[in-house]
Amino acid sequence: MIKPSDMTKVPAHIENNPQFQHFKGCVGAIDGTLVHAVLPIGDQNRYRGRKGDCMQNVVAACDFNMLFTYVIAGWEGTAHDSRILMDALTDPRLNFPHPPTRKYYLVDAGFSNMRGFLAPYRQCTYWLPDFNAR
């Protein structure tokens, strides 16, 4: 079962770890992925990706315990992650778990920075020097 987590508390392994001091307001992360889909012939063109396969785009949120807290599936594989998230945010029937005031989700560069969602600054390779030094 997927259920929203308690967004008012920071998990102890985050709150007490100096490596995560900058993430104290973070309630989780959101990202999208493509999943192969088997569809009726009449629907296949809408879901066909750039490589010719039929795909569905799935956008999911997880908390710091690596538990899914929200999943929206069924969008065409060509749909952009940010479009799917905006639909989830604006359609109350989809029950998106909005972060409380002064809390936020981490999102990748495919999403926009907006209240409650923190994307990395574009044109900056934050992790590359750290990764190459390992």
Q: Which two tokens stand for residue 4?
A: 């929203």
Q: Which residues pair with 60 in a beta bridge?
A: 31, 71
Residue 83 has pLDDT above 60, yes or no: yes
**Spatial distance between the Cα atoms of 119 and 7, rounded to a whole number of angstroms:** 19
Compare 53 and 129 and report the one with higher pLDDT. 53
- Spatial neighbors of 50 by CB under 8 A, at least 6 apart, are 78
1 — pLDDT class (breaks 50, 70, 90)? low
Three-point CA angle 107, 15, 21, nearest 5°: 60
Q: What is the mean pLDDT of the segment spanning 115-131?
A: 75
Least confident window among 58-62, 64-68, 109-113, 127-131: 127-131
54 to 29, 58, 78: CA distances (angstroms): 26, 13, 10
Average pLDDT in the 121-125 region?
A: 70
Confidence band of 89 (pLDDT split at 50, 70, 90): very high
pLDDT of 131 > 60? The answer is no
Using pLDDT thresholds of 50, 70 and 90, give the confidence band for residue 10.
Answer: confident
Residue 125 has pLDDT above 70, yes or no: no
Please give the model's pTM, rounded to 2 decimal places.
0.82
Residue 126 has a pLDDT of 61
